[in-house]
Amino acid sequence: MALNIIVCAKQVVDPETPASAFRIDPDTKQVVPAQGIPPVVNGFDENAVEAALQIKEASSDATITVLSVGSGFVMDVMKKPLSMGADQLILVDDPAVGNLDAFGTATALAEAIRKIGEYDLILCGRQASDWDNAMVPLGIAEILGLPCITIAQKIEVSDDGVTVHKALSDGYEVVKAELPAVVTITNELGEPRYPTLRGIMTASRKTPTVWDASEVGLSHDQLSHKLDLTELYIPVSDTECEFIEGEDDADSGRLLALKLREARLI
């Protein structure tokens, strides 16, 4: 069966940036990207691309469109899903959508999805590693009036719709919905595949479709913030670590146990 899959992906500051290189500009209230550390595709979004590729492999006739909304895209970064095997990339690239809250982002993505027109399954990462909101996919589902299933560790598509194993803290739920539907993917689904050399070559020949905000039909009012960011800061830890140093590593281990007993912690 022909299946149109849209994967929403976000370009984010590399979450592996060492804490010592993590900086905030208090005036603009934005994270300053560390020098020499390029942005990445949000990790859970790569899991969503992986889920789409697995569905495509199982169903033979599927098209995977990767969609992103933002500004300042690094093309080599955003092409990674193409090099993993996605078919096409659409970027809504406009300063007007460069600094949205979750409400604005969901609105922009939903309008872009309407413009794409044909879709059966919308996959997203469970949350983005910058704002950790886990809200945008829920917003897309509400705006488009679609069923929504979150935190899928397993996903299967059949003629009846989509069946998901939704991860819980102590197991999982089996959840079913008809298509089209929005499903968010978690890392439990499995590691995203590495791009092959052939994939990278194919991706390099593909040109992304780029839309600006007006082409998607977005108005300023639709994108206004519901929440105002009043402060962004790095929390200071008030904990002082007491380092236990013995004559050698084994001695340190022994002294640590004695210290914990002295502190009545064990």
Q: Which 103-142 positions form the footprint of other proteins (CB under 8 A)?
A: 103, 106, 126-127, 129-135, 138-139, 141-142
Distance CA 6, CA 140 (A): 12
Q: Are 48 and 9 in contact (CB under 8 A)?
A: yes
Q: Which of residues 194-233 bind other proteins (CB under 8 A)?
A: 224-233
With 0-12 / 13-18 / 19 or more C-beta atoms within 10 angstroms meaning exposed / middle / buried, residue 169 is exposed
Q: Which of residues 35-74 bind other proteins (CB under 8 A)?
A: none
**Residues 62, 69, 167, 213: which binds other proteins (CB under 8 A)?**
167
Least Å distance between CB 193 and other proteins?
14
**How distant, in Å, are the alpha carbons of 65, 169, 249, 259 from that of 253?**
53, 33, 6, 10
Angle of CA points 222, 224, 226, to nearest 5°: 110
What is residue 259's three-state secondary structure?
helix
Least Å distance between CB 216 and other proteins?
18
Distance CA 43, CA 127 (A): 9
Give yes or no for residue 243 binding other proteins (CB under 8 A). yes
Least Å distance between CB 251 and other proteins?
7
| Binding letters toward other proteins, positions 141-160, x by CB under 8 A | xxx--xxxxx--x-------
Give yes or no for residue 253 binding other proteins (CB under 8 A). yes
Q: Which of residues 179-198 bind other proteins (CB under 8 A)?
A: 181, 186-188, 191
Give yes or no for residue 172 binding other proteins (CB under 8 A). yes
